[in-house]
Every structure is written in C-alpha cells, then in structure tokens.
Amino acid sequence: MSASESPSSTATLLVACDDCPGLVAALAQALYNQGANIFHAEQHTDSVAGRFFQRIHFEDPELEGPDREAAESRLLATVRAVGARYGMKWQLRFEERPMRMAIFVSKTDHCLYDLLLRHRSGELLCEIPLIVSNHESLRPVAEQFGVPFQVFPIDSKNKAEVEARELEVLAENEVDLVVMARYMQILTENFIGQFKERIINIHHSFLPAFAGGRPYHQAFDRGVKLIGATAHYATGDLDEGPIIEQDVIHVSHRESVADLVRLGKDVERTVLSRAVRLHLESRIFVHNNRTVVFTG
C-alpha cells in the first residue's frame, strides 16, 4: 500500500464471470459513478473456459465520511447491480477490517514461528485471535507472542466431537481464515465445508508428487534432485486442493532424509507465508480446482 492509500478508504474487489465484451469498462464505470478512484486493476481471461477474472484495488473517499455504514451500503449496491447484470461471482473486502486468521499446528514449529514473526513485523496484515493444536508442545511459542493457545486432543474416536468444538471456537473468535501450519491431522469434509476456500494447508512436497505422509522419505527413496513445498486450499480430497503457491530447491545424492527435512523447512515457511499473504490481500480466485493468482 502506498503512502497515498489509507485502509479506512480503500477496498479490493474480485470478480469472475463468463467472458464478454465490455466487462472492464462496466466495472470501471460503476466504480467511477460511485466516486471511487482505481489504484490498480489486473485482469485475466481463461480462453479455454471462457471465464473472465479481475482484481480492482481502489479508494472510495466516502468511506472516510461521517456515515461509513451508508457509504459501504452504496458501494455494495453498486457492485451488486453490475454483478447481477453480468452474472458475476464477486468478493468485496474493506481494508479497514483486516481478516482474522487462526493457525492450526501440531508439534512442528518452523511455519508457526515464521507466520508469527511476519505478522509482528507487519508483513501479514491480519489479526491472529488464536492458535489451535492437538498437542501442548507449542504453547510456549504462542505465549511468547501473546496469542491465545487452545488444545484439542484428537483421535479417530472423538474426531467429530472435537471438530465441532473447534468450529464453535472459530465462530466465537469470528475467524475468516484457517492456516494449517503443519497441523498433522486430516480435516473432515464437514469442517472443510464450513470454511470452503478459506483453509490453507502447507504440504512438504512439490505436489502432485509425493502426496500423503512422509514425502521426504518418498523423495529420498526416489533419488529426486528437487524437493519442494506446496500451499493449497484444503478440500475433501487429501492434498489435491487448488494450488496457491509452490517452490523448489535443488538437492543431490549426498543429502540424507534428515538433510531433506532440514532444507525443506526453509521452502515450507516461505511458500506458506506467500500463500497466506496472497489470500489476505484478496489476490486469489478459485475456478475448477485451479487458482487465478493476481500478483501485480
């Protein structure tokens, strides 16, 4: 965000619809009529699917006026009208209200530390109301950063009951996004359904290679020369959700499994933090288990 932009007056609009002439003009005109000033707009047309996607970052001075609620209502009505005209799927986020992100962890701490440090430094613009775990191991980390930490021991017998309690806690804390920072549990479809396209998981391989458990061991057994990490939205199909971000590093026959794990941690944390930032900045649209990611 530039010095001329203020979170109290800025918003981001994501739209997707069937492609047709005049979409860019229609959206720009609608915002102009509202009195908005567009800072940045980026669009993509999927010629195979015939779908149009656009992200618009803009300022509406009326949001800083004496009646913000009325200004938001007028803006929503404007977007709703143009969206209905073209059958758009749209999301409008007001930057004055940052997203609230819950972090789910187990015993591994590198991704948790990275997210908390980036949040503390202002790199991740969100609120973190709680950390959820199935073990006590990382409570000291949460206490170090002053974030509430709740433990829900879970096994195959109590999974449904525990997830119901976790969903209650997430609702009580008005959580918008769940980040699985090496949370070593498989969420049920019921849980995922409550946060569709709002659960980001980090998998420690370059998907679709080595899905499931022990990917570094699988990579070592195959003698691969690249290892990587993948951040994706969680779905009911394990490690097959829409991919948000990926990266790799080179390795050789000299590396042991322990070496691969050590090297891979660096990739995991950077890939996860990038994906989280993209989501927080409303830069991602999901279509047919693929993502359109606006990075400009």
Query: Phi and psi (nearest 5°) for 176?
Result: -95, -30
Using pLDDT thresholds of 50, 70 and 90, give the confidence band for residue 4: low
Using pLDDT thresholds of 50, 70 and 90, give the confidence band for residue 3: very low
Q: Are 242 and 198 in contact (CB under 8 A)?
A: no
- Tens of pLDDT, residue by residue over 10-25, are 999 999 999 999 999 9
Whether residues 84 and 107 fall in one domain = no
Whether residues 50 and 145 fall in one domain = no
Mean pLDDT score of the chain, rounded to an integer?
94
Confidence (pLDDT) at 156: 82
The answer on pLDDT for 207 being more than 80 is yes
Among 29, 63, 94, give the residue marking a domain's end: 94
Among 67, 94, 121, give the residue marking a domain's end: 94
- Report, as an integer, the average pLDDT of 23-49: 95
Q: Note every long-range contact of 171-176, with CB atoms under 8 Å and residues 24 or more positions apart, other chains counting.
A: 173/100, 173/102, 173/129, 173/130, 174/100, 174/129, 175/100, 175/101, 175/102, 175/129, 175/130, 176/99, 176/100, 176/101
| 240 phi-psi bin (left φ>0, alpha ψ -120 to 50, beta other) | alpha
Listed residue (240, 220, 244, 239) closest to 292, CA to CA:
244
Whether residues 140 and 197 fall in one domain = yes
Whether residues 140 and 270 fall in one domain = yes
- pTM reported for the whole predicted model: 0.94
- Tens of pLDDT, residue by residue over 257-279, are 999 999 999 999 999 999 999 99
The answer on pLDDT for 59 being more than 90 is yes
Whether residues 89 and 105 fall in one domain = no
Query: How many domains, the chain?
Result: 2
Is residue 208 situated within a structural domain? yes
Is residue 75 situated within a structural domain? yes
Q: Vertex 52, ends 49 and 55: CA angle to 5°? A: 140
Q: What is the DSSP letter of 135?
A: S
* 64 or 129, which is more confident: 129
Whether residues 190 and 71 fall in one domain = no
Whether residues 177 and 233 fall in one domain = yes
Is residue 4 situated within a structural domain? no
Q: Which CATH number goes with the domain that contains 26?
A: 3.30.70.260
The answer on pLDDT for 146 being more than 50 is yes
Is residue 2 situated within a structural domain? no
Whether residues 146 and 240 fall in one domain = yes
Q: How many other C-beta atoms are found inside a 10 Å radius of the C-beta of residue 174?
A: 10
Whether residues 125 and 166 fall in one domain = yes
Q: How far is residue 187's CA from residue 179's CA, in Å, rounded to a whole number?
A: 12
Using pLDDT thresholds of 50, 70 and 90, give the confidence band for residue 246: very high
Whether residues 136 and 175 fall in one domain = yes
Among 109, 237, 239, 259, the active-site one is 239
Q: How far is residue 269's CA from residue 9's CA, in Å, rounded to a whole number?
A: 32
Q: How far is residue 85's CA from residue 102's CA, in Å, rounded to a whole number?
A: 36
Structural domain span for residue 287: 100-293
Among 25, 59, 94, give the residue marking a domain's end: 94
The answer to whether 239 is a known catalytic residue is yes
